Copies of this chain bind each other. A is one copy, B any other.
Amino acid sequence: MNKNSSNIMALAPNTSNKRETICIFGTGDFGRALGHKMIQSGYPVVFGSRSTQKSSLIPKDAEVLSHAEAAQKAAIIIIAIQRQHYNFLTSLAEILHGKVLVDVSNNLKINQYPESNAEYLAQLVPGAKVVKAFNTVSAWALQSGTLDASRQVFVCGDDMEAKQRVMDIVRALGLTPLDQGSLLAAQEIENYPLQLFPMWKFPILLSLCLTAFFFFYCLIRDVIYSYVYDNKDFSFFIAISIPNRICPILALILLALVYLPGVLAAIIQLYRGTKYRRFPDWLDKWMLCRKQLGLVALAFASLHVLYTLVIPIRFFVRWRMNSQIISQALNNKTEPLNNTYAWLSDSYLALGILGFFLFVLLGITSLPSVSNNVNWREFRFVQSKLGYLTLILCTAHTLVYGGNRFLSPSSYRWYLPNAYMVSLIVPCIVLVVKFVLIFPCLDKPLTRIRQGWERNPQYSEQSNYIINKSAV
């Protein structure tokens, strides 16, 4: 059911008395929040606590009993205690036998313990059916009812029936259960809420460094140079002109960096003559964050488009144009249309528009719901064929923009070439190498290698060893 209707259900709780009793061990914030929510959804709730004295914070409809008494009242027991205190549960092993124990705990660090909390719990109480659930939901979100991101509850467990019962409770609370398989998945589920965009760190760091570098590069060339030589104050270039130089440069470089590892991988495979040796670690990691690199590149490209489109409404641009026209009018001269300039201007704009259009298409295809609806063949077609076409169009856009300025000495200030010339290095390398790799003399052996052929089978025995060692 969609979010909206679930929200409505949360406001108009179902109070059917068919629900089975749930026991919650622990009266901390999360235990209480879960208890509140369950009572709202019509479940009778019993808290198990060391002190059976009822705190004022505990929902009034809930009973508070000793752990043993509470456990006897319910078939499903939610363990809302921290892992360090789990060991007292061994003393209750007899009562907990056959019951469903729901581990809701989280850790403070990724991979804090050798085994997951849920697996540890299953070892402590071998007779119980342990299910991992609810750890991705926050107590605050449960209480405030504003469950936007955290509506998904990952559930895993070895006992199918126990898992189904917990998933039904999750649904009754207005949340979406996602079956993650056996208890082996618990480690991953416990790590999940601790992450903060792990795959985005490298692309964002890289683009920040490049942005800083090109900012100072352009500042020196465009602002400081003008100030030193012409004594003109163009400091306001910092607002739009310089960002509009940096954005396309970063978009182009990052887009090229998306396709560079694929080219490197092909070279490595051709050199080694096998696909059965693992790539160096840095290349593996690079390949895994290509999607994120591409999306950061798309962000820069979008900013470039916006910055470019506001050009005609900038005060400075209007002033410069007015001055030109007035001086021309005063000098009584009209220029004929320069056809070459018209061609250059129109074609670099057209190349940019088409490149950006394909880039946005690539971005839309990388949306999870879209990429889930295409098969491997279609995905390869879009990401590889359309991706290279985008890179070619964007590189051509930059080359035509440069036009005949590449060799003109006036483009060099303090021996620094225009920033866009620097940005062309990586994409040109990628495109040239890719072009070379298309030649049959290289493409044929590469295809065979990727289908499992080896140039030197003797060698691969060792390589398998390398792969397997990394798996230990």
A273 at the A/B interface (Cβ < 8 Å)?
Answer: no
Question: Once the chains are docked, how many angstroms separate the CA of A357 from the CA of B8?
Answer: 30
Chain B residues near A310: list those with CB within 8 A.
308-309, 349, 353
Contact between chains at B322 and A324 (CB < 8 Å): yes
Contact between chains at A287 and B370 (CB < 8 Å): no
Among A32, A369, A381, chain B packs the most CB atoms within 10 A around the CB of A369
Partner of A465, one of B60, B332, B451: B60
Contact between chains at A152 and B471 (CB < 8 Å): no
Partner of A13, one of B58, B136, B240, B471: B471
- Interface bits A356-383 vs B (CB < 8 Å: 1, else 0): 1100110000111111111111111101
- Interface bits A315-334 vs B (CB < 8 Å: 1, else 0): 11011111111111110101
Q: Identify 14 new A-B residue pairs, CB closer than 8 A, beyond the known A302-B357, A315-B338.
A: A3-B373, A7-B199, A8-B191, A11-B285, A136-B375, A141-B376, A143-B276, A149-B374, A149-B375, A168-B182, A171-B182, A236-B346, A322-B324, A325-B325
Chain B residues near A192: list those with CB within 8 A.
1-2, 5, 375
Question: Once the chains are docked, how many angstroms separate the CA of A229 from the CA of B108?
Answer: 69
- Interface bits A136-153 vs B (CB < 8 Å: 1, else 0): 111111011110111110
Question: Once the chains are docked, how many angstroms separate the CA of A148 from the CA of B289?
Answer: 11
Q: Give how many copies assemble into the complex.
A: 3
CB distance from A313 to the nearest CB of B (A): 6
Chain A interface residue number, banded: 35 or more
Q: Which residue of B has the minimal Cβ distance to A274? A: B57
Given the contacts A287-B146, A376-B138, A468-B59, A350 and B187 also touching, CB distance less than 8 Å: no
A99 at the A/B interface (Cβ < 8 Å)?
Answer: no
Question: Once the chains are docked, how many angstroms separate the CA of A371 from the CA of B354?
Answer: 28
A271 at the A/B interface (Cβ < 8 Å)?
Answer: no
CB distance from A59 to the nearest CB of B (A): 6
CB distance from A236 to the nearest CB of B (A): 4
Chain B binder among A69-77, A413-421, A452-460: A452-460
Chain B residues near A36: list those with CB within 8 A.
467
A109 at the A/B interface (Cβ < 8 Å)?
Answer: no
Q: Which residue of B has the minimal Cβ distance to A357? A: B303
Contact between chains at A316 and B342 (CB < 8 Å): yes
- Interface bits A440-472 vs B (CB < 8 Å: 1, else 0): 000000000011101001101100110110111
16 A-B pairs, CB-CB below 8 angstroms? A3-B368, A7-B199, A11-B285, A13-B470, A13-B471, A138-B376, A150-B379, A172-B181, A192-B375, A195-B375, A302-B357, A311-B313, A315-B341, A325-B329, A368-B372, A368-B373
CB distance from A308 to the nearest CB of B (A): 7
Q: Which residue of B has the minimal Cβ distance to A169? A: B181
Contact between chains at B353 and A303 (CB < 8 Å): yes
